[in-house]
């Protein structure tokens, strides 16, 4: 199995739409909750899609807004206006 | 004129990468004198791929939002006596280590990244380092502001700036960061952004800060997670620097590998303190060191090294030793801190029965046979009124500066000591990992200031015993130092809890 | 009321950290600024010599010829720690962003005739490189200067200059309909156009200046103290008179920031000079050596924008800088 990438976010109402969007867009993603924080692990690749977050939020979302609630990540990062992708082995 | 829409990457390139130029009135090697001497070969700085492309407008937008939230919480914390909501005042030993040992490092990182932010001749790398430099300043200052309130009510924190440059155990973090800052800019960024932040600080900011949340420390939780969102940017910078060096020239590979070997081990040793904070100083436990090591190193860290395998990078040397030590690291560290408690600006204690059961559950047989009996014996002594203190300063490792107390990788009953000789002088190391580091750069490590030796040379205010030494550190005996039970911190805590409950009957009910 | 009782019954045992209390004297509580900068730089017992400067210590006051008994005296009158700084800048960027949007939406740049657009492009856009050098020079002081109050404020100044460079670059993008042609042309001019060469030579000279206090005086007082008034005040007025009010909106940040940060620049120099006659002499000498060179380097730019009035106008700007230096206690 591919090595896991991960994304960790603060566990607060602002981050919830991002968490929900990530879980929906990445079928292999597993949510791990600890006090104050959630960590989402996913084999090989994980994507955060702007459009999906916007659908949850009901407003425009700039992917760089993720910085406000981001805790940590693991994986090679590639970011453009529409997607933030974490991956290994690409 | 028809307007073109600029994508994130193009916009960033136009606003940042185009700013620099090849100087002609002054030679480039004079303008950038420090980015060649480490032997790293850069063929094409333009190939640098910017991690997180934040321009200053976006940076200010998101950072100001983070700071507004953070200070609103700190204000509320102070106004509402938030210090009374922590699980137990023993928890504050972790805060004390953080303030004394970690906060000062944030300032050093601020300086080190300014150094790297001026040194690289590629504009993309320079800007990423500058942003990290000011972020590190943020971390130093937000931590001071968060801890400032605890300092008003508890001991051991008031003299941190004095101790930072003097105390034997604070030489562990101090020598670590000065080792990095005194290196060249490429090694500095590899050591801090990559080896320390990408590979290892998840262990500090994720499980430990989550533990702080669980123990009711709103102040630490808030700055901790808020700082970690900056760390995510720093980690991607670290990974980019490493990949960039590896892609630029094959001659860079062995240099980078040696740095990864060195800084993995150096960082791992430093994190022994964090592991001990997690296991022993959090009254309510979230995750033990062994579990955190398994998740953040054995799973996530190793995945990262697998990814670097395509460049010819292998796992860092001695990583398997860290794996063997995960069952015992924090227990060996805690008993060491416990015994030298008369020269520490924090309290130590013997864990209660519930905590011992938790250790048994998490660490199994080795704990039950090796460490539990030792802790029970020390408890017995304490109950007889003979609380054990070792009133001499320990022999410390020439490299990591941790007392030479670790045991052999394959034998937890035998102390591990390695002796290296250089120019006719013998130096002691705690492990093969530290010995390798010494032998690669002996001229550097013979310079290290070893606090116990300074004391013997009379350079610690002429102190002749541990109590005079502690006084020279501005530590008040049995107030800042020593056993937790019965300390002023403990007594205050009990009294404040009593009044707090009396004053808030609905909370008590 | 239970809250009052709660607070009243839990008395703090001290007001602040020892090293802060020692500076403030008894009975005083510190500001967050003071707690955030004083005593933050390690002071002694450094473990290793820097491989990049082995003749000196890791933190070494000898990286400048000036001497302070206590470098923590070099405080910032704005009392900026990271939080107050970034929140203030967050507000400013918000307003600056709205200005950019306004100018962009209404096509206000196009309301300026082409000759003036060309002047704007030629005189202002290459300044992104000057601001970039200023960023690097403040980064140098943050890296090799002495004491946290200084390095902290210089690293904010470093990022502020990066923002100036980026706002100027956005003007360049705006002038070219979001193509990079204007930025590319400005870089070519910066590199080759005779009008810019004296300034580029001077700027490159600052980038190899090793005494951090000299660099502070030259960059933050002399170069910024002349370039900003010349471009964002005098040239701005000229543009406004020719239908270029949009430029004022696009440079609002620079104008406000220059006025605000000058207070800090002056306060640092004033405190350095007040420390000793030796320091004052050094600062005076730096002003005397560099200011005529700065003036000379700016003359072609002023000539381009103001033709026959250039010389007198530049004299006026330089006189203002001299007046600032004199107020700081220098005999310049």
User: What are residue C31's phi and psi, to 5 degrees?
Assistant: -85, 165
| Res. C120: pLDDT tops 50 | yes
Find the Cα–Cα–Cα–Cα dihedral B14, B17, B23, B27, rounded to 10°: 180
Is there a contact between B145 and C35 if contact means CB atoms under 8 Å apart? yes
CA–CA separation, B219 and C195 (whole Å): 55
Torsional sign, CA B288, B292, B298, B299: positive
A and B touching (3 or more beta-carbon pairs closer than 8 Å):
yes
Residues C31/C36/C41/C43 CA torsion (nearest 10 deg):
40
Q: Cα(first)–Cα(last) distance of chain A, in Å?
A: 15
Among C253, C258, C244, C247, CA closest to C97:
C253
Q: Which residue has the higher pLDDT, B228 or C125?
A: C125
Please give the DSSP secondary-structure letter assigned to residue B492. H
Rg, chain C, Cα only: 22
Residue B429 has phi, psi (to 5 degrees) of -125, 155
Contact B437, B266 (CB under 8 A): yes
pTM beyond 0.90? yes
Average pLDDT of the residues of chain C: 95
B134 closest CB neighbour out of C13, C18, C156: C156
Residue of B38, B56, B99, B138 to mutate, interface with C, max C Cβ within 10 Å: B56
Q: Which of residues 301-330 of B touch A (CB under 8 A)?
A: 302-304, 306-307, 310
The helix (H) or strand (E) run that includes residue B422 is: strand B418-422
Task: Say if B21 falls within a structural domain.
Answer: no
Nearest to B65 among A34, A68, A89 (CB): A68
Q: What is the pLDDT of residue B228?
A: 84
Per-residue model confidence as pLDDT tens for chain B (509 residues) = 456 788 888 899 999 989 999 999 999 999 999 999 999 999 999 999 887 889 999 999 999 999 999 999 999 999 999 999 999 999 999 999 999 999 999 999 999 999 999 999 999 999 999 999 999 999 999 999 999 999 999 999 999 999 999 999 999 999 999 999 999 999 999 999 988 888 878 887 788 888 999 999 989 888 888 888 898 889 889 999 999 999 999 999 999 999 999 999 999 999 999 999 999 999 999 899 999 999 999 999 999 999 999 999 999 999 999 999 999 999 999 999 999 999 999 999 999 999 999 999 999 999 999 999 999 999 999 999 999 999 999 999 999 999 999 999 999 999 999 999 999 999 999 999 999 999 999 999 999 999 999 998 999 999 999 999 999 999 999 999 999 999 999 999 999 998 877 776 554 43
- Does position C249 have pLDDT exceeding 80, yes or no? yes
Report yes or no on chains C and A touching (3+ CB pairs under 8 A): no
Confidence at residue B200, expressed as pLDDT on a 0 to 100 scale:
78
Tell me how many domains chain A contains.
1
Given this model, what pLDDT does residue B198 score?
A: 83
CATH of the domain at B332: 1.10.620.20
Is the Cβ pair C19, B31 closer than 8 Å? no
Sketch the domain layout of chain C as residue ranges. 79-327
Q: Which of A4, A10, A89 sits opposite B299 (nearest CB)?
A: A4
Minimal C-alpha gap between B249 and chain A (Å): 20
Contact A3 B306 (CB under 8 A): yes
Residue B22 lies in a domain: no
Percent of chain B with pLDDT over 70: 98
Q: What mean pLDDT is predicted for residues A22-29? A: 96
The minimum CA-CA distance between B65 and chain A, rounded to whole Å, is 7
Contacts of C321 (CB under 8 A, 6+ apart): C221, C222, C225, C226, C291
Find the helix packing angle between B123-153 and B56-79, rounded to 10°. 10
Q: Which residue out of A15, A66, A70 would a mutagenesis test of the B interface target, given it has the greatest number of B Cβ atoms within 10 Å?
A: A70
Whether A27 has its CB under 8 Å from any CB of chain B: the answer is no
Predicted pLDDT of residue B378: 97
Task: Name every residue whose Cβ is closer than 8 Å to that of residue C108 and which is 6 or more positions away in sequence.
Answer: C102, C245, C246, C249
Q: What is the 3-state secondary structure (H, E, C) of B82-132?
A: HHHHCCCHHHHHHHHHHHHHHHHHHHHHHHHHHHHHHHCCCHHHHHHHHHH
pLDDT reported for residue B101 = 95
C267: number of Cβ within 10 Å: 17
Residue B191 resides in a domain: yes
CA distances to B16, B183, C206, C218 from C223, in Å: 22, 32, 10, 6
Q: Can you read off the two tokens belonging to residue B184? A: 């060249």
Q: Within a 10 A sphere around the Cβ of A17, how many other Cβ atoms?
A: 18
The pLDDT, as a whole number, for residue C5 is: 45
Nearest to B162 by CA among C72, C44, C145: C44
Q: Is B40 helix (H, G, I), strand (E, B) or coil?
A: coil
Distance from C-alpha of A38 to C-alpha of B233, rounded to nearest angstrom: 18
What are B413-454's pLDDT values in tens digits?
A: 999 999 999 999 999 999 999 999 999 999 999 999 999 999
Q: How many residues does chain B have?
A: 509
Which listed CATH number (2.60.40.640, 3.40.1190.10, 1.10.620.20, 3.40.920.10) goes with C79-327? 1.10.620.20
Token pair of B471, please?
């006084």
Number of C-beta neighbours around residue C237 at 10 A:
11
Give the separation between CA B109 and CA B177, rounded to whole angstroms. 8
Instruction: Residue B462: count other Cβ atoms within 10 Å of its Cβ.
Output: 10
- Give the dihedral sign, CA C79/C84/C85/C91: negative
Note whether A73 contacts B236, CB cutoff 8 Å: yes
Select from B283, B315, B263 the least CA-distant residue to B437.
B263
Dig out the tokens for B217 from the structure.
């420390």
**DSSP H or E stretch at residue B408:** strand B407-408
**DSSP-derived secondary structure for B214-246:** HTT-HHHHHHHHHHHHHHHHHHHHHHHHHHHHH
pLDDT single digits (tens) C40-93? 999 999 999 999 999 999 999 999 999 999 999 999 999 999 999 999 999 999
In a domain, B228, yes or no: yes
Cα–Cα distance between B214 and B198 in angstroms, integer?
24
Measured CA to CA, the distance from residue C255 to residue C42 in angstroms comes to 36
Contacts of B116 (CB under 8 A, 6+ apart): B125, B129, B185, B188, B189
- What does the DSSP assignment read for B163-223? HHTT-TTTHHHHHHHHHHHTS-HHHHHIIIIIIIIIIITHHIIIIIHHHHHHTT-HHHHHH
Is B125 an 8 Å CB contact of chain A?
no
What are the structure tokens assigned to A30, written together?
């597993």
Mean pLDDT, to the nearest integer, of C87-101?
A: 97
Tokens of B109: 């990182």
Contact A43/B at CB under 8 A? no
Query: Residue A90 above 70 pLDDT?
Result: no
What pLDDT, on the 0 to 100 scale, is given for residue C75? 98
Cβ pair B229:A71 closer than 8 A: yes
Query: Out of B53, B214, B229, whose CB is closest to A79?
Result: B53
C18 close to B158: Cβ distance less than 8 angstroms: yes
From chain B, the residues in CB contact with A44 under 8 A are none
Q: Tell whether A35 lies on the interface with B, counting CB pairs under 8 A.
A: yes
Domain holding A61: CATH number?
Answer: 3.90.56.10
The reply to whether residue A67 touches residue B287, judged by beta carbons under 8 angstroms, is no
Alpha carbon distance B481, B344 (integer Å):
5
Is C148 within 8 Å of chain B by CB? yes
Please tell me the predicted confidence (pLDDT) of residue B196: 87
Closest-CA residue of chain B to C200: B25
Cβ contact, residue pair B235, A67, below 8 Å: no
User: CA of B53: which chain A residue's CA is closest?
Assistant: A79
Distance CA B368, CA B354 (A): 14
Q: Is C211 on the interface with B (CB under 8 A)?
A: no
Contact C267, C245 (CB under 8 A): no
**DSSP secondary-structure letter at B417?**
-
CA gap B470, B480 in Å, rounded: 10
C105 close to B (CB below 8 A): no
Q: Is residue B5 part of a domain?
A: no
Instruction: Assess contact for C142 and B114: CB atoms under 8 A.
Output: yes
In this model, does residue A49 exceed pLDDT 70? yes
Q: State the pLDDT at residue B301.
A: 92
How buried is residue B22: exposed, middle or buried, by Cβ count under 10 Å (0-12/13-18/19+)?
exposed
Q: Which residues contact C75 (CB under 8 A, 6 or more apart)?
A: C33, C37, C149, C267, C271
Is B64–C86 a contact, with Cβ atoms under 8 angstroms apart?
yes
Give which of B350, B394, B390 is closest to B373, Cα–Cα: B350
Q: Report the pLDDT value the prediction gives residue B68, as an integer from 0 to 100.
A: 96
The whole domain housing A78 covers: 4-87
Of C332, C331, C160, C122, give the one whose Cα is nearest residue C262.
C160
Interface test with A, best of B8, B217, B302 (most A CBs within 10 A): B8
Domains contained in chain B, number:
1
Instruction: Inspect the interface and report whether the beta carbons of B107 and C41 lie closer than 8 Å.
Output: yes
Q: For the residues C129-146, what does the mean pLDDT come to?
A: 98
């Amino acid at each position: 199995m591919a090595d896991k990438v991960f994304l960790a976010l603060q566990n607060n109402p602002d981050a919830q739409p991002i968490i929900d969007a990530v879980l929906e867009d990445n079928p292999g993603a597993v949510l791990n909750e600890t006090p104050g924080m959630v960590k989402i692990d996913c084999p090989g690749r994980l994507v955060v899609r702007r459009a999906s977050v916007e659908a949850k939020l009901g407003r425009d979302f700039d992917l760089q807004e993720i910085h406000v609630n981001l805790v940590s990540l693991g994986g090679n990062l590639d970011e453009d206006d529409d997607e933030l992708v974490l991956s290994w082995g690409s | 004129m028809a307007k073109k829409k600029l994508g994130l990457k193009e916009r960033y390139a136009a606003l940042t990468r185009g700013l620099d130029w090849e100087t002609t009135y002054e030679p480039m090697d004079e303008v950038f004198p420090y980015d060649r001497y480490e032997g790293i070969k850069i063929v094409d700085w333009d190939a640098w791929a910017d991690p997180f492309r934040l321009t200053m407008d976006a940076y200010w937008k998101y950072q100001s939002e983070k700071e507004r939230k953070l200070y609103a919480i700190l204000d509320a914390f102070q106004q509402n006596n938030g210090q009374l909501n922590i699980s137990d005042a023993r928890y504050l030993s972790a805060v004390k280590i953080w303030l004394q040992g970690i906060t000062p490092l944030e300032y050093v990182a601020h300086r080190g990244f300014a150094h790297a932010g001026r040194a690289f001749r590629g504009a993309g790398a320079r800007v990423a380092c500058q942003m990290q430099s000011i972020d590190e300043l943020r971390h130093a200052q937000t931590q001071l502001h968060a801890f400032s309130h605890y300092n008003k009510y508890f001991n051991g924190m008031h003299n941190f700036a004095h101790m930072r440059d003097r105390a034997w155990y604070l030489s562990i973090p101090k020598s670590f960061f000065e080792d990095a800052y005194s290196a060249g800019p490429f090694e500095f960024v590899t050591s801090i952004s990559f080896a320390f932040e990408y590979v290892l600080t998840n262990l500090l900011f994720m499980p430990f800060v989550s533990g702080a949340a669980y123990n009711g420390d709103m102040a630490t939780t808030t700055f901790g997670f808020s700082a970690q969102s900056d760390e995510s940017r720093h980690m991607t910078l670290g990974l980019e620097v490493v990949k960039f060096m590896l892609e630029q020239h094959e001659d860079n590979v062995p240099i980078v590998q040696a740095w990864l070997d060195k800084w993995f081990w150096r960082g791992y040793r430093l994190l022994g303190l964090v592991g001990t904070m997690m296991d022993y100083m959090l009254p309510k436990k979230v995750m033990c060191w062994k579990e955190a090591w398994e998740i953040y190193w054995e799973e996530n860290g190793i995945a990262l090294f697998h990814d670097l395998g395509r460049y010819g990078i292998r796992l860092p040397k001695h990583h398997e030793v860290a794996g063997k030590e995960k069952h015992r690291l924090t227990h060996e560290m805690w008993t060491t801190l416990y015994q030298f408690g008369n020269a520490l600006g924090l309290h130590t204690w013997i864990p209660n029965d519930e905590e011992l059961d938790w250790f048994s559950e998490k660490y199994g047989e080795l704990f039950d046979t090796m460490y539990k009996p030792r802790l029970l014996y020390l408890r017995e002594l304490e109950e007889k009124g003979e609380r054990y203190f070792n009133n001499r300063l320990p022999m410390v490792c020439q490299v990591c500066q941790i007392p030479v107390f670790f045991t052999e990788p394959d034998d937890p009953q035998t102390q591990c000591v390695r002796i290296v000789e250089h120019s006719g002088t013998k130096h002691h190391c705690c492990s093969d990992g530290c010995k390798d580091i010494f032998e690669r750069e002996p001229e550097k490590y013979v310079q290290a200031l070893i606090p116990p030796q300074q004391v013997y040379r009379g350079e610690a205010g002429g102190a002749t015993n541990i109590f005079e030494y502690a006084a020279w550190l501005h530590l008040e005996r049995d107030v800042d130092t020593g056993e937790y039970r019965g300390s002023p911190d403990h007594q205050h805590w009990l009294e404040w809890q009593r009044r707090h409950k009396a004053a808030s009957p609905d909370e008590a009910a | 009321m239970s809250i009052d009782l709660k607070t009243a019954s839990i008395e703090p045992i001290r007001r602040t950290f020892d090293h802060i209390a020692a500076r403030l004297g008894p009975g005083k509580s510190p500001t967050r600024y003071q707690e955030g900068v004083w005593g933050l730089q390690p002071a002694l017992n450094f473990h290793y010599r820097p491989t990049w400067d082995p003749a000196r210590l890791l933190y070494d006051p000898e990286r400048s010829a000036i001497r302070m008994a206590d470098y923590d005296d070099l405080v910032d009158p704005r009392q900026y720690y990271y939080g107050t700084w970034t929140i203030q800048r967050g507000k400013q960027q918000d307003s600056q962003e709205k200005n950019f949007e306004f100018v962009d939406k209404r096509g206000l740049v196009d309301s300026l005739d082409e000759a003036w657009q060309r002047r704007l492009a030629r005189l202002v856009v290459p300044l992104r490189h000057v601001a970039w050098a200023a960023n690097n020079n403040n980064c140098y002081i943050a890296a090799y200067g002495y004491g946290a109050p200084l390095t902290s404020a210089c690293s904010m100044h470093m990022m502020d200059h990066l923002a100036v460079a980026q706002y100027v670059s956005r003007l360049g993008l705006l002038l070219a309909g979001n193509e990079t042609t204007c930025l590319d042309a400005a870089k070519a001019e910066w590199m080759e156009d005779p009008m810019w060469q004296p300034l580029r030579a001077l700027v490159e000279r600052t980038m190899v200046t090793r005494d951090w206090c000299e660099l502070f005086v030259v960059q933050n007082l002399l170069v910024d103290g002349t370039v900003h008034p010349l471009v964002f005040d005098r040239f701005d007025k000229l543009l406004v008179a020719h239908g270029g009010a949009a430029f004022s909106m696009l440079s609002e940040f620079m104008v406000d920031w220059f006025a605000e940060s000058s207070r800090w620049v002056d306060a640092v120099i004033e405190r350095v000079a007040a420390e000793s006659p030796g320091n004052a002499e050094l600062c005076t000498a730096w002003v005397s050596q560099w200011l005529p060179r700065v003036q000379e380097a700016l003359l072609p730019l002023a000539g381009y924008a103001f033709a026959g009035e250039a010389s007198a106008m530049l004299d006026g700007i330089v006189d203002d800088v001299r007046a600032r230096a004199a107020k700081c206690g220098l005999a310049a």
